[in-house]
Structure 1
Amino acid sequence: MSEADTNALIERYIAAFNAGDSEGMLACLTEDVAHDLNEGGREIGKDKFRWFNGMMSKHYHETLADVVIMVGQGGTRAAAEFTVHGKYLATAEGLPEANGQRYTLPAGIFFDIDDGKISRVTTYYNLAEWTAQVSKG
């Protein structure tokens, strides 16, 4: 896959995220996608990714802004750095109580690309900073 094609794939994935289009995100993924959760484990497969997206949309409304996509030579690896603008909608287990708090965080995702689809999604953000922001309000 060319670097330009990989860049376009990541753009589609992020556009689907921002549109709240879980199926659009899933269309960008391999069946056996590896999903590395921030400060968590690894889940394998589209079904687990679909479940994760459903859980996330129940608890959070987020959009990604100031997106910068970086693609490695050969197009098999990529990264996106961005700012998350979010609203905490419903209390997630083990986290502070939700009451509509807004938050803004820098974050990033690393991607592996295989056969024209994303085969790994690894997300990083500062959970302590997120917790501090939602605990204030």
Structure 2
Amino acid sequence: MTQTARNIVTAYYAAFNAENPAGMLACVSDDIEHRVNEGGIRLGREKFAEFCAHMGVSYREQLKDIEIFVNESGTRASAEFTVHGAYLKTDPGLPEANGQTYILPAGSFFDLKNGKITRITTFYNLNDWIAQVSA
């Protein structure tokens, strides 16, 4: 079970780095619970797809130095990584975008069931990101 969970999370991040939202969606359950740092909770594949589409327009990101950890039962996982990104289109309430680059440590927590990701919770330091894109 731990290898299955590791493979799912690895496939999810491979799709992310390939800018392949369909590949990311293939890794998540229909009732995915998506929790983003200092944001709301998105419930369901449709809301997650909307988020992915928005991110693809506003940001260009690659995740590097990914380390994945899985519990013994394969039902929970976490990952630590470094986000290397560019801020392309202004998000409401955030600084003006003009292609600024940033490097940001981040992490995610996952619940997994029946070969799919059922929850993703992502954390990063928003103040660090704001300082980098505002410099």
TM-score after normalising by structure 2: 0.99
1:86-125 aligned at under 5 Å gives the runs 86-125=85-124
Q: Which runs of 5+ in 2 are unaligned?
A: none
Q: How far is the alpha carbon of 1:38 from its aligned partner?
A: 1.0
User: Residue by residue, what CA displacement relative to the aligned partner does 1:60-91 show, whole Å, maximum 9, x if unpaired?
Assistant: 00010000000011000000100000000011
Q: Which structure 1 residue ranges, 5 or more long, are not aligned?
A: none
- How many angstroms apart in 1 are the aligned matches of 2:58 and 2:30? 25
Report what 1:4 is aligned to. Answer: 3
Which whole-Å CA distance do the structure 2 matches of 1:93 and 1:42 have between them?
Answer: 18
Q: Deviations over 1:79-119 (max 9, x none)?
A: 01000000000111100001110000000010000111000
**Superposition RMSD in Å:** 0.5
User: Letter of the aligned partner of 1:54 in structure 2?
Assistant: A
Moved over 2 A (4+): none
1:47 aligns with 2:38: no
Q: Which amino acid aligns with 1:70?
A: F
The percent identity for this pair of structures is 53
Distance 2:87 2:58 in 1: 6
Amino acid of the residue matched to residue 132 of structure 1? A
